[in-house]
Amino acid sequence: MQLSRKMCRIPWGKVMAAGLGLVLGLDLSGAVAETAATGVRVLTGAMGTRFVLDLSDEVSFKVYTMRDPYRVVVDLPELAWKVAPAATSAHGGVIERFRFGLFKPGTFRVVLDVNAPVAVHSAVALSPRDGFLHRLVLDLSPISKSEFDRTYVGPPPPEPVAARTSAPPPAEAAKRIDGRHVVVVDPGHGGVDPGTTGISGIYEKELTLAAAKELKRQLEASGRYQVILTRDKDVFLPLHERVQIARNARAELFISLHADSIGSDSIVGSSVYTLSEKASDAQAAALAADENKADTIAGANLDGYSGEVADILIDLAQRETKNDSAKYAHELVQELDRSGRMLEHASRSAGFAVLKAPDVPSVLLEMGYLSNPQEERELRDPAYRAKLMTAVKRAVDIYFAALDRMTKS
């Protein structure tokens, strides 16, 4: 549905959302898109709640709803985000908070988290007047859950799996003809899914991408590895696509980088996770549950992928892949312990969706806690990240050296 300068009614009629997460944003002021978002306002009154997005130009947009959790989703063409940081905390009425970012190339997404079932009474793109620029205006008001359920239609269907991913590769040796080992590095989160927020306001997605690029640089500098990043810019990537990138590349190792946050500012240290359907402890289970919500938080509609996911879960019986994951995890914990702080019982396991490639040894590294002032400050320091990634690289060297010896024996 494209909306221009005239008032438009939403054909879905009623929408509903529930509050979730923090106010999450990112700076896309350097994006190449010509159109820019320049301001945000949330207005409340007797008629309901109004969300206003100021824009430098007229744009088309789509508005729809999603549930579990319920939210209002607005998709726009890719644009630059030039909204003042203070405006990202705008809220009021039914709107508890909002998130925004690049959902996929060509699509910028705004997600409104609300505190009650709501109806979108109107969505309109207004032309400049009275000192205002172009504006996108949504009018919301609370309704009953039963009224929402009666009229709910839902988001557009996802693209067919075949159009987005190629067929799973066979589980064969992945080393290239030139002898280099293939490593896939996965910067956690991205785009409209920023991950956790540090006490300075930095987002997990920024730190994971910076660390991934540093690890790629170090690994490739050795001449022994071909390194593929699941994402090399600030864009959302569904969890199953991260897995599929590793499988399509016939990777020999998959390393997913993250940073944690917890209620206490005294907890510090790195930790390493491997896949297990039974979590090693309650904290590991809670962390996996949070990380596995990434697709939902970003408003991804994954209904069309159930078959693919089921096939992957069946393949998890491949014991050799899990054993190799454990071997690398052991080396990684040893190297990190030599160069930095480690969480107590640093080697853990849980059901992380991003580790479920059945034929690629995979680990998830939590680099530290953004809820701890010192550790957050260190993770923002390029020199500290380089030191951390050097330990990761040493573990990669040890892991593949052992595999190569076994191959030659």
Is the preceding omega at residue 117 within 30 degrees of 0, hence cis?
no
Residue type, position 5, single letter: R
If residue 284 lies in a helix (H) or strand (E), which one and from where to where? helix 282-291
- Res. 170: pLDDT tops 80: no
> Residue 272 forms beta bridges with which residues?
347, 365
Q: Which of 100-114, 165-179, 347-361 has the lowest mean pLDDT?
A: 165-179
Sign of CA pseudo-dihedral 274, 279, 283, 289: positive
Instruction: Give percent of the chain above pLDDT 90.
Output: 53
Kindly tell me if the per-residue pLDDT of 1 is higher than 70. no
Same fold, 7-151 and 165-408: no
Name residues whose C-beta falls within 8 Å of residue 282's C-beta, 6 or more positions apart in sequence.
none
Report how far residue 67's alpha carbon sits from residue 74's, in angstroms, rounded to the nearest whole number: 14
Distance CA 100, CA 203 (A): 13
Asked if residues 400 and 224 have their Cβ atoms less than 8 Å apart, the reply is yes
Across the strands, what pairs with 203?
A: 197
Angle of CA points 22, 25, 28, to nearest 5°: 170
3-state secondary structure (DSSP) of residue 289: helix
299 vs 131, higher pLDDT: 131
What average pLDDT does range 33-55 have in this prediction? 92
For residue 66, which of 105, 108, 113 has the smallest C-alpha distance?
Answer: 113
24 neighbors 197 (Cβ within 8 angstroms): yes
Please state, in angstroms and rounded to a whole number, the distance separating the CA atoms of residues 312 and 237.
Answer: 18
Minimum mean pLDDT range among 20-29, 208-217, 269-278, 388-397: 20-29
How confident is the model at residue 111, as a pLDDT? 92
Dihedral angle, C-alpha 152, 78, 59, 74, nearest 10 °: 20
Q: Where are the domains of the chain?
A: 7-151, 165-408
Q: What is the mean pLDDT of the chain?
A: 81
Task: Give the start-end residues of each E strand in 197-307.
Answer: 225-229, 253-260, 270-275
Instruction: Write down the architecture of domain 165-408 according to CATH.
Output: 3-Layer(aba) Sandwich (3.40)
Please tell me the distance from the alpha carbon of residue 141 to that of residue 103, in angstroms, as a whole number.
26
- Given a cut of 70, whether residue 155 has pLDDT beyond it is yes
Q: Cα–Cα distance between 73 and 153 in angstroms, integer?
A: 13
Distance CA 220, CA 197 (A): 30
Q: Beta strands 117-126 and 7-8: pairing type?
A: antiparallel
- Alpha-carbon dihedral of residues 264, 269, 270, 273, nearest 10 degrees? -50
Position 36 scores a pLDDT of: 96
Yes or no: domain 7-151 corresponds to CATH 3.30.43.10:
no
Q: What are the CA-CA distances from residue 310 to residues 100, 230, 337 (Å)? A: 31, 22, 37
What tokens were used for 320?
A: 């050799």
Residues 217, 223 contacting (CB under 8 angstroms): no
Which of 363, 389, 165 has its CA nearest to residue 253?
Answer: 363
Q: Please, which residues have CB within 8 angstroms of residue 275's CB and are 6 or more apart in sequence?
A: 316, 322, 325, 349, 350, 351, 352, 355, 356, 362
Q: How far apart are CA 200 and CA 376, in angstroms?
A: 8
pLDDT, residue 7, reads 33
Number of helices (H), then strands (E), in the chain: 10, 17
* pLDDT for the residue 158: 67
Instruction: Indicate the pLDDT class of residue 223, thresholds 50, 70 and 90.
Output: very high
Q: Quick check: 12 pLDDT over 80?
A: no
DSSP 353: G
Three-state DSSP at 331 gives: helix
Higher pLDDT, 51 or 163: 51
What is the pLDDT, as a whole number, of residue 355? 83
Retrieve residue 161's tokens: 């799996």
Q: Are 80 and 101 in contact (CB under 8 A)?
A: no
